[in-house]
């Protein structure tokens, strides 16, 4: 499997769990249902097992959230053997944006198969989350599409990027985990290569790539949900830092594509980072002119999920947690857009970087941490990037303040409407 690795979380120093109410508190959105205008879904690959609807019901009930019915399932589905990855993706994209219409999609193939199928599907959702990825230079080791198409990994990435672009033009906001093995990537866990490995599809310029944070300090444990009152201490407030292998068991992926040039929408933010005083890997290790990722970040450690067949509640983590978190927030933003204009926001990166330039306070800047280590530890040859003020190749623009993001998105939509009128 080549998922962005969901893992059982080791105990954090604060021993504080993350539940949907934690995310609502940290990222300033109300955990009340949104209207059903927008549609959201996680996407699973390579015949991955499914989530359990009854587990989802139990999860939502324990977190004092309304029950949700998944209205459309595309691809293989067997809820008798719920999988940790699918469970995390489904429980948190729904938990962040209850009320939104929920879909679920599985693909036996890899990225090109899925992207081309969705680009041509009769109906598309507003928001999707993908917790999967692999080195962009080794796409042909995980996809049978390469031999079918007669392409190498570089051409495969280019062909898939075209399909992601089409998806965005159809009004879909696409999110992808940035990876769980630092700048070196899972394909080089012992850091023996003399180049850093960008993760695809996180390195695609047509998706929003999401890195992961952990709690640095927790100033309040008690939340109102039944689960946290009765069984667990849960995050309600505090400060974030980039995840670390010592605390979270993984390191957030990030860096620069070797195949795709830097898009105009992120040039100013990334140029400022490259001119900063942080220590960088040797120039020969990365393409400083490439598409930089991640774009944003969110918490990714100690997420409580519920799988009855595996004993009930357990804490897990990975950028597999941060991507559906952002996708759920985007589903709420899309719902605002649909109410005002009847249209989805579509590909979000140009909008997110524009908001950041004018209103950086709409993102919580994460300035502590790095992605030098891999999930296997820190070998002497490991290289990577450091977090700092502003955009960085560990946590992107930062984590969201939904209350400000929705305000600025609403203002932007109002300006567009007035220009049309």
Q: Which of 244, 320, 323, 337 is catalytic?
A: 320
Query: Tokens representing 108?
Result: 């036996």
Q: Which of 85, 180, 392, 401 is catalytic?
A: 85
Q: Which of 89, 188, 295, 365 is catalytic?
A: 89
> Which stretches does DSSP call E strand in 184-302?
199-200, 208-220, 237-242, 255-261, 290-293, 296-299
Distances in Å between the Cα of 375 and the Cα atoms of 243, 273, 274, 281 are 11, 25, 25, 19
Query: Tokens representing 388?
Result: 């700092």
Pick from 416, 320, 328: which is nearest to 375 by CA?
320
* CA–CA gap between residue 408 and residue 355 (Å, rounded): 7
Query: N- to C-terminal Cα distance for the chain?
Result: 51
3-state class of 391 per DSSP? coil
* CA–CA gap between residue 377 and residue 381 (Å, rounded): 11
* CA–CA gap between residue 126 and residue 106 (Å, rounded): 17
Q: In the annotation, is 89 catalytic?
A: yes
User: Is residue 404 a contact partner of residue 28, using CB atoms and an 8 Å limit?
Assistant: yes
Q: In the annotation, is 85 catalytic?
A: yes
User: Is residue 399 a contact partner of residue 240, using CB atoms and an 8 Å limit?
Assistant: yes
Query: Tokens representing 165?
Result: 């672009």
For 183, which DSSP code? T
317 CB-near residues (< 8 Å, 6+ apart): 6, 7, 9, 212, 243, 248, 249, 250, 300, 301, 302, 303
Per-position b or e across 16-25, b if 16+ CB within 10 A of its CB: bbbbbbbbbb
Q: In the annotation, is 320 catalytic?
A: yes
Q: How many CB atoms lie within 10 A of CB 263?
A: 15
User: Is residue 219 a contact partner of residue 237, using CB atoms and an 8 Å limit?
Assistant: yes
* CA–CA gap between residue 236 and residue 218 (Å, rounded): 8
Among all residues, which ones are annotated catalytic? 85, 89, 320
């Amino acid at each position: 499997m080549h998922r962005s690795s969901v893992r059982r979380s080791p105990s954090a120093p604060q021993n504080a769990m993350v539940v949907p109410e934690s995310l609502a508190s940290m990222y300033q959105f109300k955990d009340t249902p949104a209207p059903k205008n927008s549609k959201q879904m996680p996407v699973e690959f390579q015949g991955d097992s499914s989530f359990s609807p009854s587990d989802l019901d139990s999860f939502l009930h324990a977190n004092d959230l309304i029950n949700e019915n998944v209205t459309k399932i595309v691809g293989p589905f067997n809820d008798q053997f719920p999988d940790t990855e699918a469970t995390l993706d489904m429980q948190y994209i729904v938990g962040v944006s209850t009320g939104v219409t929920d879909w679920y999609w599985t693909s036996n193939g890899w990225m090109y198969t899925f992207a081309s199928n969705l680009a041509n599907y009769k109906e598309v959702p507003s928001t999707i989350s993908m917790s999967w990825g692999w080195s962009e230079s080794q796409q042909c080791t995980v996809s049978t599409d390469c031999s079918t198409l007669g392409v190498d990994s570089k051409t495969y990435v280019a062909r898939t990027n075209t399909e992601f672009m089409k998806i965005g033009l159809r009004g879909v906001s696409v999110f992808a985990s940035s990876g769980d093995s630092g700048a070196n990537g899972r394909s080089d866990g012992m850091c023996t290569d003399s180049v850093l490995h960008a993760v695809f599809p996180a390195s695609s310029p047509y998706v929003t790539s999401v890195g992961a944070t952990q709690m640095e300090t927790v100033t309040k444990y008690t939340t109102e949900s039944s689960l946290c009152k009765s069984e667990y201490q849960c995050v309600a407030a505090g400060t974030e830092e980039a995840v670390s292998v010592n605390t979270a068991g993984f390191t957030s992926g990030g860096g620069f594509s070797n195949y795709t040039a830097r898009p105009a929408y992120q040039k100013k933010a990334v140029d400022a980072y490259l001119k900063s005083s942080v220590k960088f890997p040797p120039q020969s290790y990365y393409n400083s002119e490439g598409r930089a990722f991640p774009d944003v970040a969110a918490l990714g450690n100690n997420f409580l999920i519920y799988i009855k067949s595996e004993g009930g509640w357990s804490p897990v983590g990975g950028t597999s947690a941060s991507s559906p978190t952002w996708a759920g927030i985007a589903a709420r933003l899309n719902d605002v857009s649909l109410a005002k204009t009847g249209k989805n926001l579509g590909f979000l990166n140009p909008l997110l970087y524009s908001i950041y330039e004018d209103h950086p306070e709409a993102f919580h800047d994460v300035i502590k941490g790095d992605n030098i280590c891999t999930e296997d530890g820190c070998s002497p040859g490991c290289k990577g990037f450091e977090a700092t003020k502003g955009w960085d190749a560990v946590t992107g623009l930062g984590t969201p303040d939904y209350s400000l993001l929705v305000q600025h998105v609403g203002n932007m939509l109002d300006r567009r409407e007035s220009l049309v009128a």
